[in-house]
Amino acid sequence: MIKNIQYTLALISLCPNLLWAQQRDTTAIHEVIIHENRLQIPFNKATRNVQIIDKAAIRQLPVRSVPEVLAYVAGVDIRQRGPFGTQADVSIDGGSFEQTLILLNGVKISDVQTGHLSMNLPVSLDAVERIEVLRGPAARVYGVNALTGAINIITHASDKTSATVSLQSGSSFKKRSDEGKSGIYGGYGAQAVLNLPAGISRNLISLGTQRSNGQRYNSSTEDYKAFYQGKIQPNDRHGIDLMAGFIHNEFGANGFYAAPGDKESYEIVKTGLFSIGSTHKLGNNFQFKPRASYRLNKDDYRYYRDDISKARSQHETQVFALELNSSLHTSIGDFGFGLETRSEKIESTNIGDHDRYNHGLYAEYKTEPVRDLVVNIGTYVNYNTQYGWQVFPGIDAAYAFNDHWRASVNIGSSQRIPSFTDLFLKQPGNIGNAALKSERAWQLEGALKYHQQGFFVQGGYFRRNITDFIDWVRQDVTPAPPYQPFNLGSNLMQGLSFSAGQDVKIGSRSTLRYDLSYNYLKPKALELQEGKDSKYILESLRHQALARVALRSQNWNFTVGNRWIKRELNNAYLLTDVKAEYNLLKIGIFIDVNNIFNATYKEAGAVYLPSRWYTLGLRYAFL
């Protein structure tokens, strides 16, 4: 019976022929400006594969964190080690988690110690305005380390006063397995978001906390976060942007890195960031935007949580960056150019003390040589004190055949500089390799899209070749030696993607929205590690199918989401999540049921993720 219900829900999500088409207003999405650091491009003029998840879409999903939102984005692979975004690795189109660049309002926040900490975000989910996902090499857009793509999380300080508070509590209703502990597994969370304009300034403040005793032995979580975004706009030509945030995150790390020996491990991560920038328009055609940013991260990993006298690793990283972005509009097209410089330092008890510097210079040109053809060409020149000079050119083009059909093609290059963990880690089960070269990639991608009256369907193909591909491997022998990263040669990845979606009017007050996607990936790297245990192959994604149906009425929202995932060396699993929300005046009440059919699955390492989990929440808008 359970399986029949599960397959029925999946079938409903996968059958667009059961729906009928009505007109959808797409004006709002067309007016969105993609927040690249160089040229600002309207969404409907984009020449790259860009996906936008706006605030309204996020609100409908049965999620509590940014990583859980990204799990519903086609081509994005989320590998969680703990529930509710406790620690999540993010990759795009079959890359590794180190090859995706993470940004917050255009500021790079990827961690230089290890990509495991890049999603330690100080922003509460209710404060997120939208998330932009750019697939494919993005060095020309964002600089180094955007080898397979970039994810930009956008917040917005509004010119209207508002205040909201969200409370939620959840449980699996399973008895705790912790020795000496009684009760059931569960947790709670709270968020508060305030928009406060004052004169020429706009201010966004968000606070959040989340606590849980976990979902299995030694998997408790606790975090506190605070975030501020400010904008001072004395006139329409000059403005100042401020951003600051802090998060304290600690969690039981049972099986996170060295299973089964790390059953008692615990980790405490503290991240702070600050940035200040400004925008200056000189005349009607030229503008420049300087910005400075600083990120401090402290990671305290305790192999034995109750005995810190041994097997304890403490790391502190500091990243300071200066950048200047500018653009010039002319009769023959738009030019973007600028430079950036970054200082990266680490002080660590087992990685050691190291520093390096990175300097980049870019130039970009966007034009419409003929009607309905948009071409974007540019290059990024980079110098790293550890890896020397490199150049990353690229070109994109998109052509609209008519009001409904649009084709795009791009070819570009990018680089990923090894993290300090890749290079210098010293642990019994994992050791670094100081001789590593940086990874470099070329990718060709093409896509064709059709849209009409609220319906769209899109298909695409990409071919990416990474030279000096890095993987953590060890010989498949007994006793097993430690894992160590090596440059294994060329990794050719090919991928096919398909997506479709539609808004359907039901009467005068209700709308049904469905979104479908399928991604297939085929890496050559499978042939490179014969006779070895490979961390990349263990978690490499082969098939991803997503299906979501959302019914919206005047007061009710109801969403069913399905995710079918197949990795190379793990069994396929199907996850079904459901959310129902009722809104009346300023109050919203919602209930989520995640993994409603109790699938047994793991996304990273040896960590099994929660079985069925129930969440009840309340949202109240004061203003």
Count the residues in the chain.
623
Cα angle 553-557-562, degrees, rounded to a multiple of 5: 130
- Other beta carbons within 10 Å of 261: 13
Q: In whole angstroms, what is the distance from residue 91 CA to residue 76 CA? A: 6
Q: CATH number of the domain that 387 lies in?
A: 2.40.170.20
Q: Of 516, 544, 514, 540, which Cα lies nearest the Cα of 528? A: 540
pLDDT of residue 30: 46
- Do residues 309 and 315 touch, judged by C-beta distance below 8 A? no
| pLDDT(386) > 50 | yes
CB-based contacts of 15, cutoff 8 Å, min separation 6 = none
> Which stretch of 49-63, 320-334, 354-368 has the lowest confidence by average pLDDT?
49-63
pLDDT of residue 80: 86
- Do residues 441 and 465 touch, judged by C-beta distance below 8 A? yes
Q: What is the mean pLDDT of the chain?
A: 88
Q: In whole angstroms, what is the distance from residue 417 CA to residue 70 CA? A: 24
pLDDT digits (tens, 9 = 90+) for 447-462: 999 999 889 999 999 9
Average pLDDT of the residues in 322-341: 93
pLDDT digits (tens, 9 = 90+) for 450-496: 999 889 999 999 999 999 999 998 877 777 788 899 998 889 999 99
Q: Of 412, 470, 468, which Cα lies nearest the Cα of 443? A: 412
pLDDT of residue 21: 32
Average pLDDT of the residues in 408-435: 93
Tokens 């069925």 sit at which residue? 612
pLDDT of residue 526: 55
pLDDT digits (tens, 9 = 90+) for 187-238: 999 999 999 999 999 999 999 999 999 989 999 999 999 999 999 999 999 9
pTM of this structure: 0.92
pLDDT of residue 138: 82
Q: In whole angstroms, what is the distance from residue 99 CA to residue 137 CA? A: 9
Count of domains in the chain? 1
Cα angle 355-357-361, degrees, rounded to a multiple of 5: 165
Question: Which run of H or of E encompasses 299?
Answer: strand 286-302
Looking at residue 25, what DSSP letter applies?
-
| pLDDT(523) > 80 | yes
> Which stretch of 86-90, 440-444, 536-540 has the lowest confidence by average pLDDT?
536-540
Residue 546: strand, helix, or coil? strand
Looking at residue 43, what DSSP letter applies?
G
Range of the domain at 475: 2-621
Q: In whole angstroms, what is the distance from residue 235 CA to residue 428 CA? A: 59
Q: How confident is the model at residue 33 (pLDDT cuts 50, 70, 90)?
A: low
Residue 58: strand, helix, or coil? helix
| pLDDT(17) > 50 | no
| pLDDT(165) > 90 | yes
Q: In whole angstroms, what is the distance from residue 151 CA to residue 135 CA? A: 9
Looking at residue 440, what DSSP letter applies?
E
18 vs 305: which has the higher pLDDT? 305
| pLDDT(4) > 50 | no
pLDDT of residue 291: 96
pLDDT digits (tens, 9 = 90+) for 86-131: 788 999 999 988 999 999 999 999 999 998 999 999 999 999 999 9
- Do residues 317 and 349 touch, judged by C-beta distance below 8 A? no
Q: Which residues pair with 133 in a beta bridge?
A: 51, 151
- Other beta carbons within 10 Å of 39: 22
47 vs 256: which has the higher pLDDT? 256
